[in-house]
Structure 1
C-alpha cells in the first residue's frame, strides 16, 4: 500500500544542505546504501563493521562512512568489542539504536481513540486509549481530540528524549493515502475528511510527517510482522470492532487494490433480507458479526444508539457481557453462537477468494475467541472449498484493540529503515560525509 507523505514537509536535511554540484544519483545511491547497512544491523546486530561489509558487499571504507552518518542520525550505536573467537584485535559491535528516535501510531475508531509510541526496534514506549464517541461527535470534535492526544504523546516522548520520526493514523474506512484524506468511513459518518492536514496543524513539531491509512490494513501488517501468525505469507486479519474490516496478506505482501481500498469485507452483502447498515446498504457482514450486532443481541438494553449513554470503551462492554453470562443470562451465549456462525459463513467466502492459511481474529473477536471459533470453524468447514478450508485455521490475536495503532507505528519504523535520511542529523558525522564528495 502507498504510505506516501501527506503533509508536504521535506525531512531530508542532507538533501536540503547538499551542494548543487553533487549529482542526484549519487545521493540516491548513498541513501540506498544507508538503508542497506541499517537494515542489516537491525536484523543481524550486534555485528562489526567488517561483518556488515562482508554481508552487504560494500567496501570497509564505505561502511565506516555510512555507519558514521547513521550514528550522527541516532540510528546506530556501538556496543563494545565483539570477540568472534578468531586471533587478532576484536571489532567494535554495532546495534540498532533508536533510543532517541520513535514512531507514533494512532487510531480513531467508533468508541475510542488510541496511541502507541515505539522505538525503532518496535518496543512500546507509550500505550494509551480513551473511550470516545467518535460516531456521535462528528469529525471536527473527533479530530480535536485526536490532536490533543497527539500533542500529549509527543510531549511525553520529548520528556523521554525521543523524537518521533512520523505519525500514522489508522481510520476504519476508505483512505486516500497520498493526501491523508478519509474518502468515506461509514461507521464514523465521515466523508472527505482531511485528517493529515488537521493533525499537521496540531501543536507538535512542524517537520513530523503525518500519514493516514486503513485500520485493518495496518493491523494486518502488525500481525504479519509481530503477531501470533508472524511470518505467515498468506493470512487474513479481521478487526472485530463495531464495524468489521479485513486486511489481506497474500504472498507476503499487503493486498491493497487499484486504489488502496481492498479489504472492506465488512460491507460484503451476506443477507439480502438482513439489517440496514450504516453504509446505506442492507445485510452487510458487519451487521451480523460487528460488536454492535453482538451488543444488540446480548444486551439489547445497552445497544448502540438506544439513547444517551456514558461513553464506554469496548473492553467495558465486553466485561459487562461476561458478567451477565456468569449470572446465567442465556442471551449472551445465544448471541455469541450466532455471531460465530455468521463469522464462519463470511470467512468461507474469504477462504474461497484468498486461500489463506490463517484467519487472525482481532478486537473483540480475540476476546471471545474460545466461544466464537468452534461455531465459526464448523460453518467454514461446511461452506468453504474443502481443501482450502481444511488447511485454514482461526487464531486469536494477542495485540488486542491496539493492533491498528501498533501497525501504524510499524509503518513509521519501516519508512525510517527504508530512508535513514528522513531522520535529521543530530551531530556532525566524523567521516567523509560533510566535506568533499560523500562516499556511496
Structure 2
C-alpha cells in the first residue's frame, strides 16, 4: 500500500517511524514519488524540473533523479528550453511521452467486438469494431473471436513500436473484477465465464482485467466525454440491453461487490415483457435497442435467424431511413422509447441526484427525437427541484465509449505505478533498477 501525506506527497520510512532504509519502504516511496511527478507533468506539461519541484514539494535533486527514471521508462520527454520571462538560463520543458507504451481496451457485446488502443498520453492509435453475433455464438466462440481481436491489435501495436502495458475487457454483465470472471451476462447468455484466464494464453506478459461495459463507459465520459469533469453523472449505454455507470463525487460507484449500476434490470413495468435475465418488466425491455427494433421492425427483431443485421449501426440506419420516409411505426417506436427513457431517468435522478445523464450507444445516435420525449416524461414524473438541476447530454464517444474507458483504466494504472512500464534505455545515474533510491520531499 502506498503511504502518502495528507497533501499528496509521499513520505519516507523514517517519518512514519519505520526502520530507516527498509528496502520495501524505499521501493514504495520511490514508486509514489515517480507517480507524483508523472501525474504533474501529465496534467501541467510542458513544465520545467524546477516547476515540478515547486509544485510537488520534492527537492530539485530528487526531481532530477525521478525524471531520469521516467525518461528511461519512456514516459517523459524533453521538449527544449522553456522561456517563462524570468531572468537567467531557461529551464528544459518536460512533457508526457508514453508513445512506446500502449493501453488496449476491448469489448464483446451482443452483436460486435471492438478494440481501441491508445498510447499513455491518450492518443488513439487503433479503433476498430467488427460485427459478430455473440448472442448466438456462446462463450467459447465469442472468446475465440475476442482473442483474434486482441492478437490482431497487439500485432498492429508491435508494428507501430508500441508495447501494451495492459488489456481491459468490457463485457455487458456482472463481473467479478478480482478474478476477471463474468458472473452473469443475460444478453450474452453467459454465466461463470473466466474471461481473463481464457485470454491469458495469447497475452502471457500483459496484465488482463475485466469489467462491466457501462462502468467503463462512465469512466470514459467522466475523463474525456461531453460531461468530462462533472463529479456527479450517470452514463446510460444504449445497446441491445441497457447498462448504467454512476459517477458520484468524482468516483465510480461500485457497490459492495462491484455490481452497482445494473439499472437495465430494474423492474419498471410489472405487466411488461419478459427479459432475458428471466424477470418481467425490466427497464431494458422498454428502452434497449432490441426493444426499439422489435417495435419499429417487428418482422426483423433480434434473434430471428440469418436475416438479422449484425452491426447496431446498420439497425439504426434502417430505423432512421424509415423515420425520414414518414414511417409511423418507426416514429411511434422512437417516441415510446423516449417516454420510457424519461420514466427511468426520473428514478435515477431520485436515487443518485446527478447533474448530467449522458446518453451513450444508440441513445446518442437518436438523441434529437429521444431527449425531448424523455424530458417531457421526466418533467411529469420526477422531483422538480432535482430534475431542474439535471440535464441530458448525448455522448460523442459513440459505441466506442466502453473500449475507450477500458483503455483509460490501463493508462490510469500506469500513471499510478510508473514502475509497471519497463526501463528500455540505460538508466541515468541515481536510477538503478531493483535497488531504488529513496527520494523524499524536502522539508516544508
Gaps of 5+ in 2: 1-20, 440-444
Write the deviation string for residues 179-229 of structure 1: whole angstroms up to 9, x where unpaired.
000000000000000101111112x4x211000000000000100010000
RMSD across aligned C-alpha pairs, in angstroms? 1.1
State how far apart, in whole Å, the 1-side matches of 2:319 and 2:356 are.
Answer: 28
Which residue number in structure 2 is paired with residue 24 of structure 1?
24
State how far apart, in whole Å, the 2-side matches of 1:209 and 1:306 are.
Answer: 38
Q: Give 3-state SS (helix, strand or coil) of 2:299's partner.
A: helix
Q: How does 1:352-391 map to 2 (within 5 A)?
A: 352-391=350-389
Which residue number in structure 1 is paired with residue 161 of structure 2?
161
Which residue number in structure 2 is paired with residue 347 of structure 1?
345
State how far apart, in whole Å, the 2-side matches of 1:390 and 1:280 are.
Answer: 36
Q: Give 3-state SS (helix, strand or coil) of 1:239's partner.
A: strand
Gaps of 5+ in 1: 1-20
Which residue number in structure 2 is paired with residue 66 of structure 1?
66
Q: Give 3-state SS (helix, strand or coil) of 2:137's partner.
A: helix
Which residue number in structure 2 is paired with residue 141 of structure 1?
141
Which residue number in structure 2 is paired with residue 15 of structure 1?
none
State how far apart, in whole Å, the 1-side matches of 2:158 and 2:99 are.
Answer: 12
Which residue number in structure 1 is paired with residue 187 of structure 2?
187
Which residue number in structure 1 is paired with residue 205 of structure 2?
207
1:288 aligns with 2:281: no
Which residue number in structure 1 is paired with residue 438 of structure 2?
439
State how far apart, in whole Å, the 2-side matches of 1:143 and 1:153 are.
Answer: 15
State how far apart, in whole Å, the 2-side matches of 1:236 and 1:362 are.
Answer: 10
State how far apart, in whole Å, the 2-side matches of 1:59 and 1:238 are.
Answer: 46
Which residue number in structure 1 is paired with residue 404 of structure 2?
406
State how far apart, in whole Å, the 1-side matches of 2:246 and 2:22 are.
Answer: 42
Runs of 4+ in 1 over 3 A off after TM superposition: none
Which residue number in structure 1 is paired with residue 14 of structure 2?
none
Does structure 2 conserve the Cα–Cα contact (< 8 Å) formed by 1:64 and 1:431?
A: no
Q: Give 3-state SS (helix, strand or coil) of 2:188's partner.
A: coil
Which residue number in structure 2 is paired with residue 330 of structure 1?
328
Deviation at 1:324, TM superposition (A): 1.6
Does structure 2 conserve the Cα–Cα contact (< 8 Å) formed by 1:432 and 1:439?
A: no
Deviation at 1:328, TM superposition (A): 2.1
TM-score (norm 1): 0.93
Does structure 2 conserve the Cα–Cα contact (< 8 Å) formed by 1:65 and 1:439?
A: no
Write the deviation string for residues 12-45 of structure 1: whole angstroms up to 9, x where unpaired.
xxxxxxxxx8620110000000000000000000
State how far apart, in whole Å, the 2-side matches of 1:124 and 1:427 are.
Answer: 25
Which residue number in structure 2 is paired with residue 278 of structure 1?
276
State how far apart, in whole Å, the 1-side matches of 2:76 and 2:411 are.
Answer: 14
TM-score (norm 2): 0.93
Deviation at 1:311, TM superposition (A): 4.7
Note closer, same or farther for the CA distance 1:148–1:437 as it changes in structure 2 (3 Å cut).
Answer: closer
State how far apart, in whole Å, the 2-side matches of 1:428 and 1:434 are.
Answer: 9
State how far apart, in whole Å, the 1-side matches of 2:27 and 2:225 are.
Answer: 36
Does structure 1 conserve the Cα–Cα contact (< 8 Å) formed by 2:27 and 2:436?
A: no
State how far apart, in whole Å, the 1-side matches of 2:151 and 2:314 are.
Answer: 26
Q: How does 1:41-80 map to 2 (within 5 A)?
A: 41-80=41-80
Q: How does 1:184-333 map to 2 (within 5 A)?
A: 184-202=184-202, 204=203, 206-333=204-331
1:130 aligns with 2:130: yes
Q: Give 3-state SS (helix, strand or coil) of 1:406's partner.
A: helix
Write the deviation string for residues 358-413 of structure 1: whole angstroms up to 9, x where unpaired.
10000000000000011101111111111001111111000000000000000000
State how far apart, in whole Å, the 1-side matches of 2:107 and 2:177 are.
Answer: 15
State how far apart, in whole Å, the 1-side matches of 2:354 and 2:36 are.
Answer: 31
State how far apart, in whole Å, the 1-side matches of 2:229 and 2:304 are.
Answer: 43
Deviation at 1:84, TM superposition (A): 1.3
Deviation at 1:437, TM superposition (A): 6.1
Which residue number in structure 2 is paired with residue 152 of structure 1?
152
Does structure 1 conserve the Cα–Cα contact (< 8 Å) formed by 2:118 and 2:126?
A: yes
State how far apart, in whole Å, the 2-side matches of 1:30 and 1:24 are.
Answer: 10
Does structure 2 conserve the Cα–Cα contact (< 8 Å) formed by 1:133 and 1:311?
A: no
Deviation at 1:310, TM superposition (A): 4.8
Does structure 2 conserve the Cα–Cα contact (< 8 Å) formed by 1:108 and 1:134?
A: yes
Deviation at 1:325, TM superposition (A): 1.8
Which residue number in structure 1 is paired with residue 9 of structure 2?
none
Deviation at 1:308, TM superposition (A): 2.5
Q: 2:418 aligns with which of 417, 420, 426?
A: 420
Does structure 1 conserve the Cα–Cα contact (< 8 Å) formed by 2:302 and 2:308?
A: no
Write the deviation string for residues 133-167 of structure 1: whole angstroms up to 9, x where unpaired.
00000000000000001000000000001111100
State how far apart, in whole Å, the 1-side matches of 2:401 and 2:294 are.
Answer: 25
